[in-house]
Amino acid sequence: MVGDDGLDALLAEQVAYYRAVAGEYGDYGAMPGVSALGEVVEEFAPAGRVLELACGPGVWTPLLARHADEVTAVDASPEMLARAAARVGERVRWVRADVFGWRPDGVFDVVFFGFWLSHVPRERFAEFWAMVAGCVAPGGRVLFVDDALRAPEELVEGAGSSTIRRVDGGGGHRLVKVAHWPEVLERELAGLGWSVRVAETVWPFYWGAGCRSR
């Protein structure tokens, strides 16, 4: 387990990485398995007030905005927010904030996060989901999409570690990348008071949808 100081440093590197690569961050929407995740979002139909956590370059934001009355999109990187805002602007409120320290000013009908849950350290998994619970209005829903892909060259601390290292133009940064397995993740969420179905599209891509169970 990583201590609090070490974990904060790791998460700071994670933010720094995404700030560094924002200008060249590719659109992964055409990757096998990802297009099917887009179909999941469409079928879910995230209506009403929608919160998108860690929106990144806004790959998913237009899909959300198509169904929602309004979207609040949160990300720690101003560079990523700028890219996202260039994709869609109407009915979207952009918030620059660290997801781990941010608290909403209201509740939402839907909370969504795309390719973010795997970047939540195991040490803060329960805390993160408690925050999500505080964001969801009574009767509200949650939807997430993600992957468990970890390239062998990223596993600088071994396959058993959730810390990886990625290289960008200015050097390298450590990131969190937890490889969740759908059936295990579903049980873990049930233990935290969530009723969420977690399923694969084309492995290693998966999604989860559901609501609070208690």
Query: Which of helix, strand or coil describes residue 168?
Result: strand
Q: pTM for this structure?
A: 0.93
Q: Rounded CA gap, 90 and 93, in Å?
A: 9
Q: Band of the pLDDT at 33, cuts 50, 70, 90?
A: confident
Query: What does the alpha-carbon distance between residue 210 and residue 214 come to, in Å, rounded to a whole number?
Result: 12
User: Looking at the predicted structure, is the pLDDT value of residue 7 above 80?
Assistant: yes
Read off the DSSP letter of residue 154.
G
Residue 18, pLDDT above cutoff 60: yes
pLDDT tens digits, residue range 108-145? Answer: 999 999 999 999 999 999 999 999 999 999 999 999 99
Q: Is the pLDDT of residue 161 over 60?
A: yes
What is the arithmetic mean of pLDDT over 38-67?
96
